[in-house]
């Protein structure tokens, strides 16, 4: 057990509410051979698409998209003129990749690879990639993980699996759990007076305002045509009171989506109204029953199984690149758990080593599970080096051995 050194689905709704559907990445062009060079042209649509794109772009790739630069236009004598913001396509050889999940934006810095009127050939430039902006990505070598990710990102059926509203008095977050990432769509905070004393008179009014904000977040961000269920979770009875409020307001305001999908809304316990409590929610049997066929559920199940094995049969549960690789060489790996962060390694040779590990496990009859680091389960896996394995049979000698990291 040792560790070691196209087209999408239409979105609608606006400031006043409405139902927002998660759309999928558009694939405009594709000319790719596995193991060879090629390019794809994509349009990311939502935060999950941006996460997929971030995992696809590596140092050494070439990326083309629209960019902006302020240029001076001469209108008078020398040095005089107005500045104008020009928009044009530019290709850069990527040298660094920055990802901002909150802003849903990537910054790709590199040297200009094409002749351009506004940016000199070989000059540094930073491309900003955001949803709704077409991007062409060219690689010298495409592997199966990349192509599987593109197929998954562009599949209209691979949308958010569930919505979860975690709430306690005065605090709530609304999360959408998709195939590859968990997105916080709304954070609600309200000051709630205590039930006793002089402030008690304002308690009910404050809670009603808090519930109204939470309901507005649900009606704006949850599309029951996409999600399989809406979970109301949290400690105490706040979630129960909110469900009563939701039922009353759905009827009073004639909120048809909520009325028609009431059977998809249910309660469960969580220790807090913070995002980390999602892992408790997803592991509960009543939730698993609702999302049993989704990737989120499958990831939770296999990770829970690994932790049980680590506790009960540690000689069949390894983590860390050295021990997992050694077990794979012996054909002992039944389930391989990998974080997708490992495939963003800037060294092509290291990425190929991880691909070879996946292939060897599959060839020996095992399964490979690639976890998204943007899922709560992927975050847990990342804390265990990002690579774990459940073995078919115990390897007590290997468990106690010191093994070098083959990827370092």
Please give the domain boundaries of the chain with CATH numbers for all domains.
26-153 (2.30.30.870), 162-290 (3.30.420.60), 295-399 (3.30.1330.30)
Average pLDDT over residues 14-40: 68
Main-chain phi, psi angles of 250, to 5 degrees: -60, -40
Tokens 């506004």 correspond to 118
Q: Cα–Cα distance between 174 and 185 in angstroms, integer?
A: 6
Work out the angle between the directed axes of helices 238-252 and 203-221 (0-180°, nearest 10): 70
Residue 259 near residue 158 (C-beta atoms within 8 A): no
Q: How confident is the model at residue 81 (pLDDT cuts 50, 70, 90)?
A: low
Q: What average pLDDT is seen over the chain?
A: 84
Q: What is the pLDDT of residues 191-238, one digit of tens each?
A: 988 776 666 678 889 999 999 999 999 999 898 877 888 999 999 999
Q: How confident is the model at residue 84 (pLDDT cuts 50, 70, 90)?
A: confident
The answer to whether residue 6 scores a pLDDT higher than 70 is no
Q: How confident is the model at residue 346 (pLDDT cuts 50, 70, 90)?
A: confident
The answer to whether residue 173 scores a pLDDT higher than 80 is yes
pTM across the whole model: 0.59
Query: Taking the alpha carbons of 327, 331, 334, 336 in that order, is the dihedral positive or negative?
Result: positive
Q: CB within 8 A of 175, min separation 6: which ones?
A: 163, 164, 165, 166, 182, 183, 184, 185, 275, 278
Q: Cα–Cα distance between 324 and 317 in angstroms, integer?
A: 9
Percent of the chain with pLDDT over 70: 86
């Amino acid at each position: 057990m040792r560790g070691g050194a196209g087209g999408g689905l239409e979105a609608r709704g606006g400031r006043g509410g409405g139902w927002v559907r998660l759309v999928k990445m558009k694939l405009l062009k594709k000319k790719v051979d596995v193991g060879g060079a090629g390019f794809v042209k994509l349009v990311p649509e939502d935060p999950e698409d941006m996460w997929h794109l971030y995992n696809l772009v590596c140092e050494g790739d070439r990326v083309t998209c629209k960019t902006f630069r302020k240029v001076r236009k001469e209108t008078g004598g020398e040095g005089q003129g107005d500045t104008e913001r020009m928009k044009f396509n530019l290709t850069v050889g990527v040298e660094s990749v920055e990802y901002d999940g909150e802003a849903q934006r990537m910054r790709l810095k590199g040297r200009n690879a094409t002749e351009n009127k506004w940016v000199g050939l070989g000059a540094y430039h930073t491309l900003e990639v955001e949803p709704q902006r077409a991007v062409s990505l060219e690689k010298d070598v495409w592997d199966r993980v990349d192509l599987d990710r593109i197929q998954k990102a562009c599949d209209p059926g691979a949308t958010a699996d569930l919505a979860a509203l975690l709430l306690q008095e005065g605090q709530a977050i609304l999360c959408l759990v998709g195939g590859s990432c968990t997105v916080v769509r709304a954070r609600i905070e309200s000051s709630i007076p205590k039930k006793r004393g002089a402030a008690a008179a304002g308690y009910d009014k404050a809670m009603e305002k808090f519930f109204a904000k939470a309901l507005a977040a649900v009606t704006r961000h949850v599309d029951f045509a996409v999600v399989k269920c809406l979970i109301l979770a949290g400690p105490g009875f706040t979630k129960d009171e909110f469900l009563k409020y939701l039922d009353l307001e759905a009827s009073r305001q004639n909120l048809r989506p909520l009325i028609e999908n009431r059977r998809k809304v249910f309660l469960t316990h969580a220790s807090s109204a913070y995002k980390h409590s999602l892992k408790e929610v997803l592991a509960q049997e009543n939730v698993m029953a609702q999302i049993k066929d989704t990737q989120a559920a499958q990831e939770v199940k296999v990770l829970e199984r690994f932790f049980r094995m680590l506790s009960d049969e540690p000689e069949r549960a390894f983590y860390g690149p050295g021990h997992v690789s050694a077990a794979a060489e012996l054909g002992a790996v039944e389930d391989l758990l990998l974080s997708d962060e490992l495939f963003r390694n800037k060294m092509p040779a290291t990425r190929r080593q991880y691909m070879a590990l996946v292939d060897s496990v599959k060839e020996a009859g095992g399964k490979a599970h690639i976890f998204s680091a943007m899922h709560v389960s992927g975050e847990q896996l990342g804390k265990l080096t990002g690579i774990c394995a459940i073995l078919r049979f115990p390897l007590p000698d290997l468990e106690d051995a010191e093994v070098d990291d083959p990827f370092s």
